Chain A
């Protein structure tokens, strides 16, 4: 019988290695096998690099930043509405960043471990859901958020991340160079129907106009309906010009 690593060792290494490169990395580690200790050492020094490389290939920095910003705003909004005093404590703003960061890490890891190929719309929600689970695990004693703030922030964050991932589906193989074959640039997410995109755009436009109108009306001491009406008119003209 050929000497080789134990089934248990290969099983553990196999779980840790992202599926997209599992076959060749496990094969290489098997080929280099000399002793169980050497195999464990080799795997320990190799697998983190493999995971990082996979994360780099599957994460789009712009989308990750967008999600991180949106998630932080979700927790900030939840804290502002439910427990305003939290924002004035010494570590309040940092405590809000911890679950938001955990969700982002969860999303990146889930993308790295996803099987290559097209993913369904529901599959896109797996990453944020995993991230929310991580966010609950990161709640330490001193920096733990109040339960309601955490629940509402996670809920809002989950919705927001899913929306961002539907609009910008994760890339199965992210390109760096300009000379890459075009098919590599194909996104792996499920296709969104154009009607749904228009509905989402409409909702976003209504919210943006409302928020901007409220802010302008408050600052300039103008009547809110008129300000919102003017902004809506501008938006309608812009949309018409874009379409034509």
Chain B
């Protein structure tokens, strides 16, 4: 069983998307942001929903229904917000990722990061 205190890789991506979207974090925008983060790989909206539910169960995020809007056919959005636990999990993940990045940069040289960044952006 997954440790409720830690976040998996896809969960980290979804948490990052919610963090960056602030008050505008709901299914469609979170999916777009995650798709941007995992480029060139693709991701489905369904996978984002499953992860959001799991994050809510773990107490990492909370959700609320917003007012209905006409561009959504008069339906409400479910907006997500980070909880303190989610922020802490994201911080831990970021620290670990930074350590991994430092070790790799040390082994393959600082330029590797720049080279990979350019290749990834292409």
Contact = CB atoms under 8 A, between A and B. Distances in A.
Contacts of A5: 73
Contacts of B46: 45-50
Nearest to B60: A177
Interface hub of B49, B70, B76, B85 (most chain A Cβ within 10 A): B49
Interface SS of chain A: helix, strand, loop or mixed?
A: helix
A180 B59 contact: yes
B47 to A, nearest CB: 6
Contact of B53 (A26, A46, A57, A179): A57
Contacts, number: 94
Contacts of A10: 73
Nearest to B78: A24
Nearest to B53: A53
Interface of B: 1-2, 4, 26-28, 44-47, 49-50, 53-54, 57-59, 65, 68-73, 75-78, 85
A31 interface: yes
A155 B6 CA distance: 45
Nearest to A22: B75
Contacts of A32: 28, 45
A176 B57 contact: yes
23 contacts: A23-B76, A24-B26, A24-B77, A25-B27, A28-B28, A28-B45, A28-B77, A31-B28, A32-B28, A32-B45, A45-B46, A46-B49, A47-B46, A49-B44, A50-B49, A54-B53, A57-B53, A175-B57, A176-B1, A176-B2, A177-B57, A177-B58, A179-B58
Contacts of A23: 65, 75-76, 78
A139 interface: no
A52 B50 contact: yes
A46 B28 CA distance: 12
B73 A4 contact: yes
Contacts of A27: 68-69, 72-73, 75-77
Which of B46, B53, B54, B68 lies at the interface centre, i.e. has the most chain A CB atoms within 10 A of its CB? B46
A31 B78 CA distance: 13
Nearest to B72: A27
Given A24-B77, A26-B75, A177-B58, 6 more contacts: A30-B72, A30-B75, A31-B72, A49-B50, A50-B49, A181-B59
Interface of A: 2, 4-5, 10, 21, 23-28, 30-32, 42, 45-50, 52-54, 56-57, 173-181
Contact of B71 (A2, A52, A56, A173): A2
A201 B78 CA distance: 43
Contacts of A31: 28, 71-72
A25 B2 CA distance: 26
Contacts of B47: 49
A174 B56 CA distance: 11
A42 B48 CA distance: 13
Counting chain A CB atoms within 10 Å of each CB, the highest count among B27, B65, B70, B76 belongs to B27
Nearest to B45: A46
B58 A176 contact: yes
A56 B49 CA distance: 12
A113 to B, nearest CB: 16
B51 to A, nearest CB: 9
A177 B11 CA distance: 14
